[in-house]
Amino acid sequence: MVNRLKKYPAFILLVIGALISFIPFLWLLRSSLMTTTEIFIFPPKILPETFQWHNYKDVFDIIDFGLYFKNTMIIMVPVLIGTISTCCMCGYAFARLRFPGRDIWFAIIIGTMMLPSAVTMIPTFLMWSEIGGVDTFWPLVFPAFFGGGGFNIFLMRQFFLNIPKELDEAAILDGANYFQIFTKIMLPLVKPALLVIGFFTFMAVWNDFFGPLIYLNDESKYTLALGLLQLRGSYSSDWNLMMAGSTIMILPAIVIFFFGQRYFIQGISITGGNKG
């Protein structure tokens, strides 16, 4: 009984923190069902006088939602495949294989996480401009097939380090090579980590605004995040429609996290490990 009472303050603090974090989404949802005038009225209203459900229909009428969704998926699918496959292989190599300069290369990869994206933005754009990659999907897709990012490699390495090395040794005694160990033994054991990386990658691509803004000029190639700009006018903006569009953008991430939260939490919590 005493131990339960000790947990109550922490539980109450977590509930309060969760409610505070949820307030911006509730405010977004409330604004999406108002008129623009009601959004900016002072003192602010908690609920609209009349729920403007047609705001969501108007979003689909104003922007080509289907086209922008298709463009987003054209980027999303290969990025997911490239990121998950390559970061998994890199993490396995850094955790299990011995090769010259392994620790130095891993330190360099970790160092890339400290570079702000703004530092590499202009040089990367100039490189793609020189080879004709601007106004194509290649700059948004191609980098995913080269490791999938420093954080993802680090996450996979830590996960592999938690798998007993006795499994590798037993497989080697049975005549398995490193590729067979990786595909038949390791991959089934790291599914939680792969789901976490898949979720992070999905969120990054789904919400990416600056990438498409920099590289895509043709409106027919816009993604959903960039397509929502069509709701902004030159002199005035339909803020209620922008709120409705933003709500539509958020819903898929909420649904995916709701159904995959058990694997997501498991993948995050089992990433500690000793240096191998």
- Tens-place pLDDT, residues 176-192: 888 888 888 888 888 88
Q: What is the pLDDT of residue 66?
A: 87
Q: How many domains in the chain?
A: 1
Does 12 map to a domain? no
Q: What are phi and psi of 105, to 5 degrees?
A: -65, -40
pLDDT < 70 stretches in the chain: 1-6, 233-236, 263-276
Q: What CATH number is associated with residue 180?
A: 1.10.3720.10
**Which residues constitute the domain of residue 263?**
55-269
Whether residue 38 is contained in a domain is answered as no
**Which pLDDT score, from 0 to 100, does residue 276 have?**
46
- Name 43's Cβ contacts closer than 8 Å, sequence gap at least 6: none
Condensed to tens digits (0 to 9), the pLDDT of residues 89-128 reads: 999 999 888 889 898 999 999 888 888 888 888 899 999 9
Report pLDDT for 193: 85
At 91 the pLDDT is 92
- The answer to whether residue 94 sits within a structural domain is yes
pLDDT, residue 259, reads 76
Q: Are residues 182 and 163 in contact, defined by beta-carbon separation less than 8 angstroms?
A: no
Hey, what amino acid is at 214? I
pLDDT of residue 144: 93
CB 152 within 8 A of CB 118: no
Among the listed residues 201, 240, 264, the one whose alpha carbon sits nearest the alpha carbon of residue 75? 201
